[in-house]
Amino acid sequence: MSRGRLISFEGLDGAGKTTQIHLLEQWLTSQQIVYVHTREPGGTPLGVEIRRLLFHHPELVITPLAEAFLFQADRAQHFNTLVLPTLETGTHVITDRCFDSSIAYQGVARGVGVELVSYLSLLATQGHAPDLTIFLDLDPAIVHERTDGRAEHTRFDRENAQFHQKLREAFLKQACTYPERIKVVNAAQTPERIHQEIVLLVADVLSREI
């Protein structure tokens, strides 16, 4: 039996990840492909608590380095107790965000540094990386319009346009560094068109021998 594949979705808040993950789930189910859907932060019971600390306590001052460690603590628990054991059983894992978010948000936009965040990510994932990362790329101006009416605001929704521009550039740079793993999908297209592109990418990675 071959190991399951790990597929991560990345993008600025409001780039359409939720919609696309939902469409991909429908497709996987229609193909009778078994998968687990999870997310960072918040994919484990500990992660739910870390997520609460990060996003539901606006009164808490969290330094950039402490924030970076909180996301990595969530990830260490996530990989150790859910992601890696699931892949071992041959089941695929779809995760809403993974360490590329840490590189972009904490490493670049928060200024913690890409090298340090990459090193912490390596520890947290025990050296594993997604088999495929889909980066839904969207102009931050459009992203802003989409996130305004959200029920759950993250720590980053209220950051300025420059912050979001930095994030986008960081993700695009990651994609240039790892072109085999990270695929950039233009998220300004219709949801159907984006979904078709994603299905091709996913089908390709699932068909590869490992």
SS3 135: strand
How many residues does the structure list for the chain? 210
Under the binding rule (CB under 6 A), the answer on residue 174 touching ligand TYD is: no
Residues 62, 89: contact at Cβ < 8 Å? no
Nearer to ligand TYD by Cβ, of 154 and 189: the residue is 154
Binding piece for ligand TYD, criterion CB under 6 A, among 98-106, 169-177, 179-187, 199-207: 98-106
Q: How far, in Å, CA of 14 to CA of 169, rounded?
A: 16
Under the binding rule (CB under 6 A), the answer on residue 154 touching ligand TYD is: yes
Under the binding rule (CB under 6 A), the answer on residue 156 touching ligand TYD is: yes
Q: Which of residues 6-25 bind ligand TYD (CB under 6 A)?
A: 13, 17
Under the binding rule (CB under 6 A), the answer on residue 71 touching ligand TYD is: yes
Give the nearest distance from C-beta 2 to ligand TYD in angstroms: 27
Nearer to ligand TYD by Cβ, of 35 and 105: the residue is 105
Give the nearest distance from C-beta 92 to ligand TYD in angstroms: 19
Residues 78, 43: contact at Cβ < 8 Å? yes
Residues 42, 75: contact at Cβ < 8 Å? no
Q: From the list 41, 43, 47, 107, which residue makes contact with ligand TYD (rule: CB under 6 A)?
A: 41
Per-residue buried b or exposed e for 10-29, using 16+ beta carbons within 10 Å of the residue's own CB: bbbbbbbbeebbebbeebbe
Under the binding rule (CB under 6 A), the answer on residue 105 touching ligand TYD is: yes
Give the nearest distance from C-beta 143 to ligand TYD in angstroms: 9
Using the structure block, give the residue that is written with the tokens 């594949």: 5
Look up residue 79 and give its DSSP letter: I
Give the nearest distance from C-beta 44 to ligand TYD in angstroms: 13
SS3 95: strand
Please give the helix or strand (H or E) that residue 182 lies within, else none. strand 182-186
Look up residue 186 and give its DSSP letter: E
Q: How far, in Å, CA of 46 to CA of 77, rounded?
A: 7
Under the binding rule (CB under 6 A), the answer on residue 137 touching ligand TYD is: no
Under the binding rule (CB under 6 A), the answer on residue 106 touching ligand TYD is: yes
Give the nearest distance from C-beta 100 to ligand TYD in angstroms: 8
- Binding residues (CB under 6 A) for ligand TYD: these are 13, 17, 39-41, 71, 96-97, 101-102, 105-106, 154, 156
